[in-house]
Amino acid sequence: MTSRNRPHHRFAAVLLGCAIAAMGWTAAWADALGDIHKAGVLKVGIFEDFPPFASAGSDMSLHGYDIDVANALATTLGVKLTLVGITGQNRIPYLNEHKVDILLSVGKSAEREKVIDFTAAYAPYYIAVMGPRALPVPDAAALAGKTIAVNRGTLEDTSLTEAAPKTADIKRFDNYNGVIAAFLAGQVQLIAVGNDVGASVLARHPSIEPEQKFQLMSSPDHIALNKGEPALKQALDDAIAKMKADGSLNKISIQWLQKPLDAKDL
């Protein structure tokens, strides 16, 4: 597992330049849904190395939460799916330039809403404290006297530092591999990670009975699209609502995040 900050926290630097460009492009592209149907293809921008949301499997094809959601969206719209690999730096330009129709795994904020539009939340993203089931840690106050591993300089580090009492012993590591290794080796009692990293621990190390204790911060994932596209936004919102209602989104969550969906996380 590679060390990373959450991808949708990385692109603040490109927002201002994109805002001006987006105004002009919106006027020229007023019916993205019609264009998608005409082309018969939904182009979805995804992070290709962002497990468990998307990563290459043993067959070298992409698998994960976002891949399943993208396939479901294309099926609902009655078109083929094209996955487009993006980065934190190029994804907003790709969206504004219509190299992709939508982006997955985007956190919603007032600043970003100046540039792009958002659907309803489709996936939980939160930072949680995890530990063995036998160790009761119901809230941040219970971190007193405990040792907690965290990836240095990340949002997890900031959130944990703000919440933990002064007597908590925070051990900072340079990557997620170090955090997880310290936990598995018993060098620390707890870890503070995003639910993406936490899902890997839950899936791969059931023998130690890890569980999520409590959340430090929640910022659900949304689908991003260009502004001025009400028909596409409504179609995507309808698709998400259908997946929530019929239980298919919950199945995706159980498979990839090792937890059923909780309404409060969306």
3-state secondary structure 200-263: HHHHHCHHHCEEEEEEEEECCEEEEECCCCHHHHHHHHHHHHHHHHHCHHHHHHHHHHCCCCCH
- Residue 11: DSSP 8-state: -
pLDDT (tens digit per residue) in 186-211: 999 999 999 999 998 888 777 788 99
pLDDT tier, 143 (very low <50, low <70, confident <90, very high otherwise): very high
Q: Hey, what domains does the chain have and what are their CATH numbers? A: 7-124+220-259 (3.40.190.10), 126-218 (3.40.190.10)
Question: Is beta strand 126-132 parallel, antiparallel or unpaired with respect to 190-194?
Answer: antiparallel
Q: What is the pLDDT of residue 225?
A: 98
Average pLDDT over all residues of the chain: 89
Mean pLDDT over 19-29 rounds to: 45
Q: What is the pLDDT of residue 221?
A: 96
pLDDT (tens digit per residue) in 219-231: 999 999 999 999 9
pLDDT (tens digit per residue) in 52-101: 999 988 888 999 999 999 999 999 999 999 999 998 889 999 999 999 99
The torsion region of residue 64 among left (phi > 0), alpha (psi -120 to 50) and beta comes to: left
Neighbours of 9 (CB within 10 A): 13
How far from the centroid of its chain's Cα atoms is residue 42's Cα? 20
Mean pLDDT over 108-119 rounds to: 91
Sign of torsion, CA 220 223 227 233?
negative
Residue owning tokens 């298919």: 248
Q: Is the pLDDT of residue 11 over 60?
A: no
